[in-house]
Structure 1
Amino acid sequence: MDTVKNVFSVDLLERYAAKGHGVITCMAAGNDVIVLGTSKGWVIRHDFGMGESYDLDLSAGNRTGEQPVHRIFVDPGGSHCIAVVFSGGDVDIYYTHAKWSKPRILNKLKGVVVNTVAWNRQQITEASTREIILGTDNGQLYEMSVDEKDKKEKYINNLYELSELPEAFMGLQMEVASLGNATRYYVMAVTPTRLYSFTGIGALDTVFASYSDRAVHFMELPGDIPNRQESIISLGIIYMVPDVSGSIELYFFIKQRRAVHFAWLSGAGIYHGDLNFGAQHSSSNGDENFVENKALLSYSKLSDGGEAVKPRSLAVSEFHYLILIGDKVKVVNRISENIIEELQFDHASESASRAIIGLCGDATAGLFYAYDQNSIFQVSVQDEGRDMWQVYLDLKEYATALANCRDPFQRDQVYLVQAEAAFSTKDFFRAASFYSKISYLLSFEEITLKFISINEQDALRTFLLRKLDNLRKDDKCQITMISTWATELYLDKINRLLLEDDTASNNHSSEYYSIIQEFRAFLSDSKDVLDEVTTMTLLESYGRVDELVYFANLKEHYEIVVHHYIQQGEAKKALEVLQKPAVNVELQYKFAPDLIMLDAYETVESWMITSNLNPRRLIPAMMRYSSEPHAKNETHEVIKYLEYCVHRLLNEDTGVHNLLLSLYATQEDDSALLRFLQCKFGKGRANGPEFFYDPKYALRLCLKEKRMRACVHIYSMMSMHEEAVALALQVDPELAMAEADKVEDDEDLRKKLWLMVAKHVIEQEKGTKRENIRKAIAFLKETDGLLKIEDILPFFPDFALIDDFKEAICTSLEDYNKQIEQLKQEMNEATHGADNIRNDITALAQRYAVIESDEGCGVCRRKILTVGGLERVARGYTSVGLMAPFYVFPCGHSFHAQCLIAHVTQSSNLAQAEYMLDLQKQLSLLSVESTKDSNGMVAEEESLTSMTPEDKLRSQLDDAIASECPFCGDLMIREISLPFILPDEVNVSSWDIKPPQLLSGQKSLSLVL
């Protein structure tokens, strides 16, 4: 494939990285921190994130001679570091922290050669390593934990030891996951020939202890070991030191804090695969194996056709392997296993003879490094996944290729390859599906011509349908055009199927039935984009009436749908359409005549459940139905509907009531008609009639149909009682009597009606004369005394004998005598009552009251019988000798006239007060004085009928002010609700004590005396 350059690039990062402390022997990186081990036992830390660097002497003057750092390990966070130092035949393990200036020797590991370290990425912190695993050269695995603040390691436990084939552990990786309250461990370890897997739930020592009684799962790959140097990778970091015994590397690639694939630089090749911790595949020994898509990359593929060259070191990115062969780093695509680049290193002139020692990676920072004895090179990655779509496409992994596409052109290329592959194998439907997803590489016309040229109409239809799914909503013109073309292809397919098999339309399991269902689903999905006129024209031209109705229903052209169902005689389906909320109610009225004639029962049932109908507009349809003859035992559906409107919906329309009345009138049994006429539908409604039909129309109709009882009721209802009784006498005298008895508020009319009945009864009797007289006398008793014998005598013949009426006449005379006696008694009682009244009037004129000499006025508190006092005489009054006029009430209270007038006017409303003052003013204008006795009363010789104007005015004034005691009557009761201080009296002075002549807190009216 065409290689995109500069995916990987090399830059010199640090030329003199060892800082004169020997040469670089090993290197590790994590979190933008590089830690070097030198041949003189120094550890040099470069923190590029902080821009800091410092040196640390591991020997600290305790040893002499060369003390090379054999291996060095750094955690992914760049805080914790473990170094393995050789000195002669001795081995020491050191631990350093990023914050420390001095190393700490791990005494419990003295003499143990640690080749590899597995860090607990999920749980490690800056202060503590938590549990880590150490792999040694004698096939042992140790568990250890170190804290920054502790002076020595917390513990070191022996977890596992190879017994079957003791080999050195050369690579370790650990993946930890939390499962609720438990922890699951997955550990992968490699030796020169085997890859071991350990997994379990619980503590780390518990997991490894479980393998004491069961076999360990491993993969064996014997082969020649790379022979120049040794390399160890832990947590995305490769550790390399020169060593004649060879080098084995194990690498986990970390993505989003989880290992997703691994690579093992074995003797047989690069063994690699994916890690899927979400899947659980049990092995034969019961272990869970999370490795998928395993493969072996042979070293022969890296030799460019020549002799296979063993790699010296390895680093793994997301999609590529960086393999160190000689002095070059070959970049190999992990998926295609092809070499895409070769990286060259520009050494300084003084180190031109020096070769690259190894590679290491910083999983946290996503960087890679190469180093020689003195310098560090940085290998940068720029968008390494940009060509992966092409890699997967070449491998025909189309789904993965699409997932890695960056733009529509790349996706089009993938779809095109898939479409061409399917087309070449004559899988035209699948090809159509892929062609429909192409937007740029091929035009719409080119693709359609491919299918037209081979006459693949079905595949072309599939392409059009899939193309519709992939078009944007704003491509309205193209969507409409393609939808219309697809509609025509569907119709053509349906016709071809009918031509091939005439019985296909009756077979629901046939291809014809399936394509019909598919076509209807298409119409439903495309109803908003299809042109209505064009689509209906196509359906009509192909004779697809059912689909035309279906489409009209989708487009809410309900008139077409209903008309079709009526033509087919399917009234129920038509009514179901009309009942939809979206249907215009006008269609109900339009099709009502046809529907009620087609199926009256279903139509009426539909009307009754439709709430927005106006029954008046259904009258033409109901009259059409009613004009047709019906069987006697057949339910009249229109009557049923009208009764529903009148009784349930309380319809008040005169036309509806008239129609129901007319239908009742044509029935053989008039009981329903009479019940209808007797119902008062409007009773209880304010300002409304008791009935809503036209009584004149009802009368004409009932007379026409000979419904005499109904006519009697209508006459009576129209207050035409004489006509009602006259007509009732022709039908039933009992009915006439009932009608006559209905009149209650007009005694004369009621008597007249009973006389009509009596005349008819007497004239219609066919018995003997004496028998007729007895019946007439019995009829009089039914009138409850309304008619007398003398009222009906004129109706008998002149030659009737008086003896026949003797009993009745005597009874009548006795009744008259009783009435006369009763009148006399009433006259006597009236005369006696008049005498009593006259006596009361005389006694009233003689009334008097006794007043004590010290009796005080109820208002001013001065004595009533004051002689020569300062009291002024009220205007219109005359003083009694030397005393002022006064009033005495039966309750014992007494008042000066002036005080009483002032008090009453102040306590009355404005209108009453003005009336009293006006009477007093008129009295003052009269100059004529009436004769008064010593008590101030009117002279006895003057009668009531000869009162002077002054006396009349004074009487009126007395009635106004002295009709009741102001302290004991209603006036005092009304004052209870008045506040002590009125709202308009806000002045504090209103509380001052004032003279008794003025009442505090009261509204005063001035009196002119």
Structure 2
Amino acid sequence: VLRVPSNCTGDLMHLAVSRNWLVCLLGTPERTTLLRFFLPRAIPPGEAVLEKYLSGSGYKITRMFLDPTGHHIIIALVPKSASAGVSPDFLYIHCLESPQAQQVKVRRIEKFKDHEITAVAFNPYHGNESSTGPILLGTSRGLIFETELNPAADGHVQRKQLYDLGLGRPKYPITGLKLLRVPNSSRYIIVVTSPECIYTFQETLKADERSLQAIFAGYVSGVQEPHCEERKTDLTFSQLRFFAPPNSKYPKQWAWLCGEGIRVGELSIEGNSATTLIGSTLISLDFEKTMHLSYGERRLNIPKAFVLTEYHAVLLYADHVRAICLLNQEQVYQEAFDEARVGKPLGIERDELTGSIYVYTVKTVFNLRVTREERNVWRIYLDKGQYELATAHAAEDPEHLQLVLGQRADAAFADGSYQVAADYYAETDKSFEEVCLKFMVLPDKRPIINYVKKRLSRMTTKPVETEEVDDDRKNTIKALVIWLIDLYLIQINMPDKDEEWRSSWQTEYDEFMMETHVLSCTRQNREAVQQLIAEHADPRNMAQFAIAIGDYDEVVGQQ
């Protein structure tokens, strides 16, 4: 994936990607280098040597965060050891580019000394290429800070503590942090995760308000409590991911890798909803079965990280990568790593703009291609009996749509919803005789009449391709019209029924007989129609038919 300059060597340490900008760190014992690639074009990457911020100062890098524009980078630093004599810190890197070259400017942010940054919520609503806008920083002690970073603010970085989830605990890492604004509203949502909890905060801000402090004000004062879901775990980490359709700033789905497995759900788009994370489904990863294993065995059975697509969770393990379908929790893909050849797997990231997934090891970066992941979604929904969704996802494939409509019709018939079943059967290519036999045994003839009428409507709206087909179609139309007339007359002349019954069926029959294609067919087959009406001994409808086709001798004969 990457063309690394020949003068840059070392193992991959960290990687992040956004809007086609991929940033990675390469490290050797002597040197740590940041490289920034623009993936669509094979141009030299931006480069910054970080050694002067690390060497001799006792620091090591723990995490790297890239903003949605691909221009702001935060690198978290912690002491290499307790005896290093330094405090946690972080670097802020601002990137610019011109047609000739990239400019990478590195700064140490000393306002946050003593605080290990473990999560960042960038601001897609106020951030741009020149400034992050107000952002949130989460720490290893459960603190949430607000700050704003830009290259012009040398020495003037603001720091506001907004909330304390750790409540004084020395170790309560914030593992995930996300800032959201509900579409077409001023309602802001903040989702926060720790190893065992997922929290949501929400508040409506004034239109001109930039600071995020007001979101937490009611929670700090005790007026309200953040919504919290706790999941017991012995894991020391969790991971929060979101999936948003392309060009959307508001996610469609959320997922949280925690001690139970992966919890997946949707996000509310209601501006006044009290609940943000809705529809939580658990994808079990059988963590409990690994409790008795040794550390070496257990690390192979617990994912290191994951990314979320529209229909799948892609999980990275110590020796393989696998994809699990969100809809039925079935594994659809797995590929093992040859660690001796490609190196130890480190992480997995997804570019929200392009949907590209990158798996990286200490030696290389792989692009995991996702091709038509929706192709079997219709079948999954069908197997689950979610027919509306199955129909929607099968709509573009006639063969798949026929299977969905047929199964949907069978299910409705089995439930006794005969009218609904008739409507769906009419849209299928199931044998006409087979369907009619199902309905003819029913005492209620409404379903069979509606089914035959819909099949007739399909026949009369199809384009004519050849004379032979046209003749066959005419004969089929004739048979359907004659049969419908017979079914209607049976209902109209059924004994022991009241006048309201007869009047209702008569009105529907009259409307049917005046339809253009029906009138055309009955005129061409008047003798067959007249014979059928005569068999029902129905002089009124015989006279009505005679008037319709202009047979006035017959009209007089019926008087």
Per the normalisation by structure 1, the TM-score is 0.47
Number of residue pairs the alignment of both structures matches: 514
Residue 465 (1) aligns with residue 470 (2): no
Q: 1:217 aligns with which of 202, 209, 227?
A: 227
The structural deviation recorded for 1:302 is: 12
For residues 301 and 63 of structure 1, the distance between their equivalents in structure 2, rounded to whole angstroms, comes to 39
The corresponding residue for 1:950 is: none
For residues 17 and 282 of structure 2, the distance between their equivalents in structure 1, rounded to whole angstroms, comes to 27
For residues 107 and 313 of structure 1, the distance between their equivalents in structure 2, rounded to whole angstroms, comes to 30
The structural deviation recorded for 1:54 is: 3.1
Query: Do the aligned partners of residues 530 and 221 (structure 1) sit closer, same or farther apart at CA in structure 2, a change above 3 Å counting?
Result: farther
For residues 139 and 444 of structure 1, the distance between their equivalents in structure 2, rounded to whole angstroms, comes to 67
Q: Secondary structure at the match of 1:491?
A: helix
The corresponding residue for 2:35 is: 44
The corresponding residue for 1:756 is: none
The corresponding residue for 1:262 is: 254
Amino acid in the other structure paired with 1:473: T
For residues 191 and 74 of structure 1, the distance between their equivalents in structure 2, rounded to whole angstroms, comes to 20
Q: 1:360 aligns with which of 349, 353, 360?
A: 349
Query: Do the aligned partners of residues 374 and 496 (structure 1) sit closer, same or farther apart at CA in structure 2, a change above 3 Å counting?
Result: closer
The structural deviation recorded for 1:427 is: 4.5
Which is worse superposed, 43-52 or 150-159?
150-159
Residue 274 (1) aligns with residue 266 (2): yes
Larger strand percent: 2
Q: 2:315 aligns with which of 294, 312, 323?
A: 323
Q: Is the 8 A contact 2:304 2:316 kept in 1?
A: yes
Q: Secondary structure at the match of 2:52?
A: coil
Q: Is the 8 A contact 2:488 2:509 kept in 1?
A: no
Q: 1:121 aligns with which of 105, 119, 124?
A: 124
For residues 270 and 482 of structure 2, the distance between their equivalents in structure 1, rounded to whole angstroms, comes to 47
Larger helix percent: 1
Q: Is the 8 A contact 1:133 1:141 kept in 2?
A: yes
Q: Is the 8 A contact 1:28 1:35 kept in 2?
A: yes
Amino acid in the other structure paired with 1:418: R
Query: Do the aligned partners of residues 30 and 485 (structure 1) sit closer, same or farther apart at CA in structure 2, a change above 3 Å counting?
Result: same
Q: Secondary structure at the match of 2:154?
A: coil
1:439-588 to structure 2, matched below 5 A, reads: 439=429, 442-451=430-439, 458-471=446-459, 473-475=461-463, 478=473, 481-482=476-477, 485-486=480-481, 488-495=483-490, 498-501=493-496, 504=498, 507-508=499-500, 510=501, 512-527=502-517, 530-533=520-523, 537=527, 538=529, 540-541=533-534, 542-544=536-538, 546-547=540-541
For residues 552 and 262 of structure 1, the distance between their equivalents in structure 2, rounded to whole angstroms, comes to 68
Q: Secondary structure at the match of 1:188?
A: strand
Amino acid in the other structure paired with 1:316: L
Q: Is the 8 A contact 1:147 1:153 kept in 2?
A: no
Residue 206 (1) aligns with residue 214 (2): yes
Q: Is the 8 A contact 1:32 1:365 kept in 2?
A: yes
- Deviation track 1:674-725 (CA, whole Å, cap 9, x = no partner) reads xxxxxxxxxxxxxxxxxxxxxxxxxxxxxxxxxxxxxxxxxxxxxxxxxxxx
Q: Is the 8 A contact 1:221 1:267 kept in 2?
A: yes
The structural deviation recorded for 1:546 is: 4.6
Q: Is the 8 A contact 2:306 2:348 kept in 1?
A: yes
For residues 444 and 558 of structure 2, the distance between their equivalents in structure 1, rounded to whole angstroms, comes to 39
Taking only aligned residues, the RMSD between alpha carbons, in angstroms, comes to 3.5
Amino acid in the other structure paired with 1:292: I
The structural deviation recorded for 1:550 is: 5.8
Q: 1:375 aligns with which of 360, 364, 372?
A: 364
Query: Do the aligned partners of residues 275 and 550 (structure 1) sit closer, same or farther apart at CA in structure 2, a change above 3 Å counting?
Result: farther
1:234-245 to structure 2, matched below 5 A, reads: none
Q: Secondary structure at the match of 1:37?
A: strand
Q: Which runs of 5+ in 2 are unaligned?
A: 81-85, 97-102, 465-469
Q: Is the 8 A contact 2:546 2:555 kept in 1?
A: no
For residues 66 and 328 of structure 1, the distance between their equivalents in structure 2, rounded to whole angstroms, comes to 33
Q: Is the 8 A contact 2:260 2:287 kept in 1?
A: no
Percent sequence identity is: 22
For residues 454 and 474 of structure 1, the distance between their equivalents in structure 2, rounded to whole angstroms, comes to 30
Query: Do the aligned partners of residues 190 and 494 (structure 1) sit closer, same or farther apart at CA in structure 2, a change above 3 Å counting?
Result: same
The structural deviation recorded for 1:491 is: 3.5
Query: Do the aligned partners of residues 90 and 393 (structure 1) sit closer, same or farther apart at CA in structure 2, a change above 3 Å counting?
Result: same
- Deviation track 1:185-207 (CA, whole Å, cap 9, x = no partner) reads 11111111111111111142112
Residue 132 (1) aligns with residue 135 (2): yes
- Deviation track 1:266-324 (CA, whole Å, cap 9, x = no partner) reads 1111111011313754xxxxxx21332211111129989x9883222111111001012
The structural deviation recorded for 1:155 is: 2.6
For residues 561 and 136 of structure 1, the distance between their equivalents in structure 2, rounded to whole angstroms, comes to 97
Q: Is the 8 A contact 1:38 1:69 kept in 2?
A: no
1:33-432 to structure 2, matched below 5 A, reads: 33-39=21-27, 40-51=31-42, 52-60=44-52, 63-64=55-56, 67-88=59-80, 89-99=86-96, 100-152=103-155, 154-162=157-165, 167-177=172-182, 179=184, 183-202=186-205, 203=209, 204-212=212-220, 213-225=223-235, 246-256=236-246, 257=248, 258-278=250-270, 280-281=272-273, 288-300=274-286, 309-345=301-337, 349=341, 351=342, 354-405=343-394, 406-425=396-415, 427-432=417-422
For residues 111 and 543 of structure 2, the distance between their equivalents in structure 1, rounded to whole angstroms, comes to 91
Q: Is the 8 A contact 1:83 1:94 kept in 2?
A: yes
For residues 164 and 412 of structure 1, the distance between their equivalents in structure 2, rounded to whole angstroms, comes to 59
The structural deviation recorded for 1:469 is: 4.6
Query: Do the aligned partners of residues 529 and 536 (structure 1) sit closer, same or farther apart at CA in structure 2, a change above 3 Å counting?
Result: closer
Which is worse superposed, 471-480 or 192-201?
471-480
Higher RCO, Cα 8 Å, sep 6+: 2
